Amino acid sequence: MDQHKDAVIKQETSSGALSTLVTVFFFWGFIAAGNGVFIPFCKHYFHLDQFQSQLIDFAFYLAYYLGALVLYFFATVFNKDIIAHWGYKNSIVYGLLFSAFGAVIMILAVNGNTFPGMLLGLFTVALGFSLQQTATNPFAALLGPPETGAHRINLGGAVNSFGTAIGPIIVALALFGSTKANDDQINSLGLGKITTLYVFVGALFLAAAALFFFSKKLPSGKFETETEKSPKALTALALMTILLIAIFVPIFRSYLVVTEDKALIQEMEMTRFKWLLCGLAIILGTMLVSFLSAKKNANGWGAMKYPQLVLGMLAIFTYVGVEVTIQSNMGALLALPDFGGYTSSQVAPFISMYWGSLMIGRWTGSIKIFEPTRSMRNILLFVVPVVAFAVVLAVNAIAQNDIKPLYWYIVCVTIQVFAFYAAQDKPARTLLIFSLLGIASMLVGIFSTGTIAIYAFLSGGLFCSIMWPGIFALSIAGLGKHTSQGSAFLVMMILGGAIIPPIQGKLADLQSIGIHASYWIPVFCFAYLALFAVGVKGILRKQGIDYDSSIEGGH
């Protein structure tokens, strides 16, 4: 018997439990943002090339996919949902302890002066994050009425974004004693301070684990249920993983070739681009075949028998990809004369505003969980984003960045405010409106230059901001005993952040396209997200699930 419904608070949101839960979101943003400090440092200290230094992010995000895949594999082998058996609360505790173990590995690697060891440490930290995220997102969604689940995840995302905003500043203060490190400071940094930093980080993980373990506010989130056999889903994901490994081997091997032959370099770049496209085709093909096969015969597919979950997996892949690729390629875009010709040290406030845009949207999107009256909600929908925008400017001012070019970005924030009013807290409608605005903003950026184009591309962060919780909540809706398994599948698809950005980057390298026109990639990503918003609403309605109707019965 499925006892899942009894494991959570169904009617009223527990503010005490939720406030404890969202603290873990802060760690994800804080640590991930702090990783940026290690890329230039490791590049100099270990004498790495640019690709090798990027292995830091690659190891970090790869762990999310593999961690979720391993959880699913063990659940299939033992015919038991491990997350459900442990309970959401204990799963988060175990994830924090695993991240603390990763911090220990990091400390040992730093003292051993080994870059591969540091990668292993970061990989282990992220494995813990994978377990935490697999448990935390459905836990937040289920700590109250299902129709406001997306708003609770949004609150976690708001805290996550705050961690992303202040993470680099705190890490810079800890390592360099100032908020803005120059090349000389980075190059002269020793390993001792990194050891101290990760001793502190490991202690924070342990403290958070203790907070969750001893908290009486959080329900266990534990329920016993047998996991439905899903050999077809396991086969599809295993085959996809094997093929992706086969795709990445020649990509990595090509980077080992040292040559100054420009023709050979161009040929290798084109080869890498083709392999990346093959990787994308494998993922899209796996999702499409799985969707059609499960539609014909649901037996053996587990959570993937639900069309909202399979389409949601592709939506998470696309969302993470578009969120990362807009920012990852922005530095090269801003270096163009038509976009200001900014140097690498001058683009910091723009990059900060992009990530700050995510915080602005998530702060605004989490208003609903505080259950304000309709009139108060209308006021907060205007006040909260303005305050959040001011916070982003303040953070940049503290970091000694030039914030003057950002003042008129308030116009884009205002557009987002009207979008929230139009969305009326309806998940599917919100996702559709923000996807369409994402398309519009990218098109404005593509067909213009200068400040208008810069603001248009930056506003992609505003419209990406609420997508994760919306996609997640809509994708796991109605999964019942398959919720944890579905959550693991969704977390796997963070892999999009490792596939889509380099594809845009390779397009930008082609003289016939260039960095400006390469932003058609985000247009296509937002287009799929809009299609998902339309399609999932009809899919859920056929299953008797209508979040929009539930919300309309509120304030």
**Rounded to whole angstroms, what are the CA distances from 162 to 30, 99, 203?**
8, 20, 20
Residue whose C-alpha is closest to residue 54's, from 66, 36, 72: 36
**Rounded to whole angstroms, what are the CA distances from 209 to 74, 78, 145?**
23, 26, 26
| Token pair listed for 416 | 């987002």
Work out the number of other CB atoms within 10 angstroms of the CB of residue 74.
12
* pLDDT for position 435: 96
Beta-bridge mates of residue 80: 226
Specify the residue for token string 């696309």: 318
* pLDDT for position 272: 72
Contact 59, 126 (CB under 8 A): yes
* pLDDT for position 101: 95
**Rounded to whole angstroms, what are the CA distances from 102 to 107, 124, 129, 130?**
9, 5, 10, 13
Residue 380 and residue 412: Cα distance in Å, rounded?
17
What's the predicted TM-score (pTM) here? 0.80
Residue whose C-alpha is closest to residue 468's, from 307, 350, 368, 358: 358
* pLDDT for position 399: 75
What are the residues whose beta carbons fall under 8 Å from the beta carbon of 485, sequence distance 6 or more?
Answer: 72, 75, 81, 227, 230, 302, 303, 479
Secondary structure of residue 412 in the 3-state scheme: helix
Contact 345, 331 (CB under 8 A): no
Beta-bridge mates of residue 266: none
Residue whose C-alpha is closest to residue 227's, from 301, 298, 297: 301
| Token pair listed for 423 | 């969305």
| Token pair listed for 418 | 């009207």
Beta-bridge mates of residue 226: 80
Residue 338 and residue 104: Cα distance in Å, rounded?
47
Beta strands in 416-463 (DSSP E): none
If you ran DSSP here, which 8-state letter would residue 226 be given? Answer: B
Per-residue pLDDT of the chain (555 residues; tens, 9 = 90+): 344 444 444 444 455 566 666 777 776 777 766 665 566 567 667 776 545 565 676 777 778 888 888 878 887 777 777 777 788 888 888 988 999 999 899 889 888 888 888 889 988 988 988 888 778 767 776 666 666 666 676 677 777 777 776 666 666 666 666 555 555 555 555 667 778 778 888 888 898 888 888 877 666 655 655 666 788 888 898 899 899 888 877 766 655 555 566 666 666 667 777 887 888 899 999 999 998 998 888 888 888 889 999 999 999 999 998 998 888 788 778 888 888 887 766 777 888 788 889 889 888 887 877 778 888 888 999 999 999 999 889 888 887 777 888 899 999 999 999 999 898 878 889 999 999 999 999 999 999 988 999 999 999 999 998 898 889 888 988 888 787 778 878 888 988 887 888 788 778 877 778 889 999 999 999 999 999 999 998 899 888 887 664 433 332
3-state SS track over 310-373: HHHHHHHHHHHHHHHHHHHCHHHHHCCHHHCCCCCCCCHHHHHHHHHHHHHHHHHHCHHHHCCC
* pLDDT for position 223: 60
* pLDDT for position 522: 95
How many CA atoms lie less than 13 Å away from 104 in the CB half-sphere?
A: 9
| Token pair listed for 85 | 């058996």
Contact 31, 125 (CB under 8 A): yes
Residue 184 and residue 176: Cα distance in Å, rounded?
11
Burial class from Cβ neighbours inside 10 Å (0-12, 13-18, 19+) for residue 77 reads exposed
Burial class from Cβ neighbours inside 10 Å (0-12, 13-18, 19+) for residue 507 reads buried
